[in-house]
Amino acid sequence: MSIDKRVNTAADAIADVRDGAVVLISGFGGAGFPNELIRALRDRAPKDMTLVVNSATHRYSLTHELLEAGLVRKMICTTARGRGKEPTAFERLWMAGKIELECIPQGTFTERIRAGGAGIPAFYTPVGLGTEIAQGKEMRRIKDRDYILEYALSGDLALIRADTADHYGNLSFRYAQMNFGPVMATAATLVVAEVRAVLDEPIPHDRVGLSGVYVDRVVEASK
Amino acid sequence: MSPQPLNRLQIAWRAANDITDGMLVNLGLGMPVAVADYVRPEMDVFIQSENGVIGVGPAAPPDQVDSDLVDAGSRRVTLRPGGSFVDSSWSFAMIRGGHIDVAILGAFEVASNGDLANWDMRLPNKGPLIGGAMDLAACARSVWVLMEHVTRQGAPRLLNRCTLPLTALHCVTRVYTDLAVIDVTADGMLVREMIDGLSAQDLRDRTEAPLNFAPDCRTLTAPAIALPDEPR
């Protein structure tokens, strides 16, 4: 076979990431965090990264390890608030002025990434109209409603989590694990998937949740 | 007897009474999540969660917890019959495309023109949290708000103009508080129900926005529901 996207370790899978990379990371509500890849990225330690991740601070994600290691210059997310009284790793850096924050509506976040992966440079949306989100953005009236212009978002690397993979890079997902994984996989130059199991046989055609066309490397999680 | 305000679960119960068979509903964090517990089980109501769960069921019992079966609030949940999963892109096409019948959200402030502020209290030491609130408020067909009528300090939260950062303009259609059920209309706020023992002037004293009262304004009642941290 000529296509084989299997990689032995998380470290190998992200070995060529460079300083300044824009990194998209999946995961939402506790499901779909590629935590072994995140830890491998921390160990690889590229500097000045921009993270594109739904929550800057989710308690089930290891994103905080990248923040605590001082590797992140900018955060693009939809929530940056921790649940507890004590500030999170992100909130401490943000309050100290040591990290840039772009906090945006979740549908705009998803759609900007979708646009980035679908060859759409920008789009109009009513979401955020009349709020801080609209400040400084181009507006346009279409029929009887006002819209704001939002630009596509894409990255150098996407780290996503799925249930199974085959050597073609096809992925299957469990329950709510999918969330941002498929859309992020369309919008990054290098896409690495961490999975529970890499299968010996191809995933049955009608069970493929994301085509291997969008996935460059797959690595089996150690646990 | 002094008026008895509804507790948080009773407010959720009252909102659930207005959900009708076949609705697709999104429930915000906090008080709205409890609405699911009071939807009559014989109805086919689908609860959509922003992370792509359509048909969220009750919280998972301890022996059925699955870390991949969660809602947007990270609760381990179950799935009702007919439920399904989509990715975030489809989930927000559902929200932004106007497919959600009603979004039930918490709020800090609502203005008489339906403006909503529910994402940033400008607290020191806390980052912002937008999540799906702006998408839901701007694009759901109806937006119902569940909130305490006044702040802990007694200040009104139904205002002429919101003072906190806005979530969306002219979006709230109905407000359920511990004191009243209020429609937000083109002519301002219209009180539909009010708890027993409260006068129209009492309610106006707790509300900055001008209030109109429906000719058929009824008594707001709810069954006794104990809060989990209260002794029964």
What three-state secondary structure class fits A31?
Answer: strand
Most A CBs within 10 A among B26, B78, B86, B130, hence the mutation to make, goes to B130
B2/chain A closest Cα distance in angstroms:
35
Instruction: Catalytic residue, from B50, B109, B193, B208: name it.
Output: B50
Which residues in chain A are closer than 8 Å to B135, comparing Cβ atoms?
105-108, 127
Whether chain A has a CB inside 8 Å of the CB on B80: the answer is: no
Report pLDDT digits (tens) over B130-146: 999 999 999 999 999 99
The predicted pLDDT at position A138 comes to: 98
- Residues in chain B with pLDDT values less than 50: 232
Domain span at A173: 19-106+156-220
Candidates A98, A102, A127, A210, partner chain B, best to mutate (most B CBs within 10 A)? A127
Q: What are the Cα distances from residue A90, in Å, to A69, A95, B23, B127, B133?
A: 11, 9, 38, 8, 21
- Domain membership of residue A126 (yes or no) is no
Please answer whether residues A164 and A30 qualify as being in contact, where contact means their C-beta atoms are separated by less than 8 angstroms.
Answer: no
pTM (global) more than 0.90 = yes
Q: Which of A126, A129, A176 sits opposite B52 (nearest CB)?
A: A176
Residue A132 is assigned to a structural domain of this protein: no
Give the per-residue pLDDT at B122.
83
Query: How many structural domains does chain A have?
Result: 1
Q: Is residue A25 part of a domain?
A: yes
Give A180's contacts in chain B (Cβ within 8 Å).
87-88
What's the average pLDDT block by block, 10 residues per block, for chain A (223 residues)?
93 97 96 97 98 93 96 97 90 96 98 98 98 97 97 98 98 97 98 98 98 98 86
Does any domain span residue A6? no
Supply the CATH number for residue A100's domain.
Answer: 3.40.1080.10
Complex confidence, ipTM? 0.95
Structural contact between residues B38 and B31, judged by C-beta atoms closer than 8 angstroms: no
Tokens of A23: 């990194």
Q: Is A151 part of a structural domain of the chain? A: no
Q: What is the pLDDT of residue A117?
A: 98
A128 within domain boundaries: no
**Whole-angstrom distance, CA of residue B186 vs CA of residue A136:** 30
pLDDT at B125: 81
Domains and CATH numbers, chain B: 8-219 (3.40.1080.10)
CB contact under 8 A, A28 and B51: yes
Residue B42: exposure state from Cβ atoms within 10 A (0-12, 13-18, ≥19): exposed
Is B50 tagged catalytic? yes
Size of interface A-B (CB pairs under 8 A): 154
Residue A191 parent element (H or E):
strand A188-198
Convert the pLDDT of each residue in A19-42 to its tens digit.
999 999 999 998 999 999 999 999
Residue A134 belongs to a domain: no
Which tens digit of pLDDT belongs to each residue from A163-184?
Answer: 999 999 999 999 999 999 999 9
Does some domain include residue A48? yes
In chain A, which residues have their Cβ closer than 8 Å to the Cβ of B122?
none
